[in-house]
């Protein structure tokens, strides 16, 4: 397992289940799009709109300085997520031996944010609105990342030969 997570040679040789690659593609694309939107790099969608409508951050109730600081941190996190996801695209195209490691990094980012929120709860409109689309998306991403990571580390079962062996 450790050798699959940190291979001696980083090339396009992948040894886990193929299903992990098929799951990796949409996960990386979703994370890439999330990073693009949150960082404010999408010319068609404002990251302020994302913060207020999807993440339910009540920016209108903050002072101008506080709202500016929150938006800076929001965009900085988005840029980091975008860069991490770009690395996932490079790995998918050229260095598939690193797929388990990128799964791990994406999972650390996803589960880490949830852990930080649990340790330092933020009073938000989520308590008022209950389960939101953002909450469901994040829980879905957590589940998919955990499953994909496990599949990328597991060794596919090789079919036994049909022959009776040496005679």
Write out residues in the chain with pLDDT < 50, as ranges. Answer: 125, 165
Spatial contact of 71 and 59, defined as CB atoms under 8 Å apart: yes
**Predicted local confidence at residue 166, as pLDDT:** 54
Number of domains making up the chain: 1
**Predicted local confidence at residue 123, as pLDDT:** 64
**Residue 165 is assigned to a structural domain of this protein:** no
**Residue 98 is assigned to a structural domain of this protein:** yes
Q: Name the pTM for this structure.
A: 0.83
Residues 6+ apart with CB under 8 A from 154: 16, 17
Helices (H), 6-165: 18-38, 47-49, 64-93, 99-119, 126-129, 133-153
Spatial contact of 35 and 83, defined as CB atoms under 8 Å apart: yes
Domain that holds residue 28: 14-153
């Amino acid at each position: 397992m450790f050798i699959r997570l940190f291979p001696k040679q980083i090339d396009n040789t992948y040894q886990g289940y193929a299903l992990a690659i098929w799951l990796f593609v949409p996960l990386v694309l979703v994370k890439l799009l999330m990073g693009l939107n949150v960082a404010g790099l999408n010319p068609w969608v404002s990251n302020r709109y994302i913060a207020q409508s999807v993440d339910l951050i009540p920016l209108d109730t903050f002072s101008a300085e506080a709202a500016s600081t929150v938006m800076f941190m929001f965009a900085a996190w988005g840029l980091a997520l975008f860069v991490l996801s770009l690395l996932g695209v490079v790995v998918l195209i050229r260095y598939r031996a690193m797929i388990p490691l990128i799964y791990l990094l994406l999972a650390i980012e996803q589960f880490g944010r949830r852990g930080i929120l649990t340790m330092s709860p933020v009073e938000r409109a989520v308590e008022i609105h209950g389960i939101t689309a953002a909450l469901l998306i994040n829980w879905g991403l957590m589940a998919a990342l955990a499953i994909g990571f496990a599949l990328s580390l597991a060794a596919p079962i090789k079919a036994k030969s049909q022959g009776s062996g040496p005679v």
